[in-house]
């Protein structure tokens, strides 16, 4: 085999890399060195593995490929947000976003190329689905979104490593994370492991449209990270119009799965709710949202709508937003209004589409 037909080394476990070295007359400890380069030092190629002999590096090159998501184009918003378009080994494109806040940053990463769900308000949904991202490609978005990243190290800024500059990582980019569950879970393990980026799982949030089966699976796996449900409409009548998936799995199924999650984990989760003008932003909608949320401990993030071509939706006006939020707060609900960043470079919520 050659080129892209060689197995991607980042798809192997450390044990499998150990077995490879033993079968090829090498030492077992070489696997740990390689593993550190792949996941802790975030190297760019086998040539970067400078504590390995040339013969060892050639052995790896002859037997494995190293498929990285390579930063191709960066755009900087007027508010400081940076969107990076990554080129994958097969030519496909995916986007990640760096959202600065003082000397810290939130990194918003993708889990798939495109998305199969086809939500009407989302630019990614208009692309259709191409494929899942690998564990390595997910990690590359974290290290690759920092413009100052130095090859072969985890330094993103002059004043410290990436893990110390990132306040949060959110799986809220392109794709549905729980339709790529295994790779997302593996990526989180690499992000949080001392042998990887060494970040706390409390700084990670995974957002999902709400797949009942996967919510239950996730609850059984006892997640240490945070979970967020992209709800956006509190009744089936309205959710059916914007989220086709809801036609197969109505809110009653989603609610039952959320009750299971709350009972199993004892954790509060987040409801994400985009306000669309004159669609889901009335006080009646707020009342229905409060009714939906009464069965589990939640906080609600109100998100402003970011324009997407041909969606047919508009942004809710400030008066309706205030009335909506006031209604929920009077019922003692925890509500945060999230202002979008990066709208001028199509980097805000719902706008990622890997444009050429």
What CATH number does residue 25 fall under?
A: 1.10.150.530
Residues 76 and 52 in one domain: no
Token pair of 70, please?
Answer: 């390579």
Residue in 300, 103, 115 with CA at minimum distance from that of residue 211? 115
| Buried b / exposed e along 113-149 (16+ C-beta atoms within 10 A) | bbbebbbbbbbbbbbebbebbbbbbbbbbbbbbbeeb
Q: What pLDDT, on the 0 to 100 scale, is given for residue 270?
A: 98
Question: Does residue 350 lie within any of the structural domains?
Answer: no
Q: Is 354 inside a domain boundary?
A: no
Q: Are residues 120 and 7 in the same domain?
A: no
Q: Structural domain of residue 32, as residue ranges?
A: 3-63
The total number of residues written for the chain in this structure? 356
Residues with pLDDT less than 50, the chain = 1-3, 149-160, 356
CATH of the domain at 304: 3.20.20.70
Q: Is 11 labeled as catalytic in the residue annotation?
A: no
Does residue 181 share a domain with residue 91?
Answer: yes
Query: Are 36 and 102 found together in one domain?
Result: no
Residue 114: name the closest of 85, 92, 144, 98 by CA: 92
Does residue 192 sit in the same domain as residue 248?
yes
Backbone angles phi, psi at 108, to 5 degrees: -100, 120
Q: Confirm whether 353 is domain-assigned.
A: no
242 and 131 assigned to the same domain? yes
Co-location of 15 and 120 in the same domain? no
Confidence (pLDDT) at 231: 98
Active-site entry in 108, 115, 119, 349: 349
pLDDT of residue 96: 93
The answer for 125, left when phi > 0, alpha when psi is -120 to 50, beta otherwise, is alpha
Query: Do both 195 and 239 map to the same domain?
Result: yes
How many domains, the chain? 2
pLDDT digits (tens, 9 = 90+) for 220-248: 999 999 999 999 999 999 999 999 999 99
Q: Which of 18, 95, 176, 304 is labelled catalytic?
A: 95
Residue 356 lies in a domain: no
Residues 337 and 282 placed together within one structural domain of the fold:
yes
Question: 93, exposed or middle or buried, with CB in 10 Å at 0-12, 13-18, 19+?
Answer: buried
167 and 49 within one domain: no
Could you give the CA distance from residue 88 to residue 75 in angstroms, rounded to a whole number? 18
352 within some domain: no
Active-site residue flag, 95: yes
* Distance in angstroms (rounded) separating the CA atoms of residues 212 and 251: 9
Domain end (from 48, 63, 78): 63
pLDDT at 343: 73
CB 288 within 8 A of CB 227: no
Same-domain check for residues 182 and 242: yes
Among residues 26, 48, 63, the one where a domain terminates is 63
Q: What is the pTM of this model?
A: 0.91
Q: Is the Cβ–Cβ distance between 114 and 180 less than 8 Å?
A: no
Is residue 55 located within the same domain as residue 103? no
- 19, 37, 63: which is the final residue of a domain? 63
In a domain, 191, yes or no: yes
pLDDT of residue 102: 79
């Amino acid at each position: 085999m050659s080129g892209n037909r060689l197995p991607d080394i980042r798809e192997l476990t450390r044990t499998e890399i150990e077995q490879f070295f033993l079968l090829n007359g090498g030492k077992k400890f070489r696997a740990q060195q390689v593993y550190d380069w792949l996941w802790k030092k975030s190297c760019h190629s086998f040539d970067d593995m400078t504590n390995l002999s040339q013969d060892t590096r050639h052995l790896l090159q002859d037997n494995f490929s190293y498929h990285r998501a390579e930063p191709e184009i960066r755009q900087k918003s007027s508010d400081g947000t940076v969107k990076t378009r990554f080129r994958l080994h097969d030519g496909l494109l995916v986007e990640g976003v760096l959202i600065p806040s003082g000397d810290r940053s939130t990194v918003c990463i993708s889990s798939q190329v495109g998305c199969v769900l086809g939500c009407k308000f989302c630019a990614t949904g208009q692309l259709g689905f191409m494929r899942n991202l690998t564990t390595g490609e997910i990690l590359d978005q974290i290290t690759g979104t920092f413009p100052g990243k130095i090859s072969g190290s985890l330094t993103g800024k002059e004043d410290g490593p990436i893990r110390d500059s990132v306040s949060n990582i959110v799986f809220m980019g392109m794709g549905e994370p729980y339709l790529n569950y295994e790779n997302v879970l593996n990526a989180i393990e690499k992000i949080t492991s001392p042998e990887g980026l060494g970040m706390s799982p409390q700084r990670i949030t995974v957002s999902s449209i709400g797949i009942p089966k996967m919510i239950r699976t996730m609850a059984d796996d006892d997640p240490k990270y945070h979970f967020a449900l992209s709800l956006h409409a509190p009744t089936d009548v309205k959710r059916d119009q914007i989220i086709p998936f809801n036609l197969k799995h109505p809110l009653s199924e989603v609610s039952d799965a959320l009750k299971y999650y709350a009972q199993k984990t004892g954790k509060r989760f987040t409801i994400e709710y985009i306000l669309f003008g004159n669609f889901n932003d009335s006080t009646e909608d707020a009342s229905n949202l409060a009714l939906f949320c009464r069965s589990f401990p939640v906080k609600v993030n109100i998100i402003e709508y970011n324009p997407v071509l041909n969606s047919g939706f508009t942004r809710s006006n400030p008066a309706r937003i205030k009335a909506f939020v006031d209604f929920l707060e009077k019922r003692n609900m925890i509500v945060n209004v999230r202002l979008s960043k990066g709208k001028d470079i199509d980097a805000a919520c719902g706008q990622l589409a890997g444009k050429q």
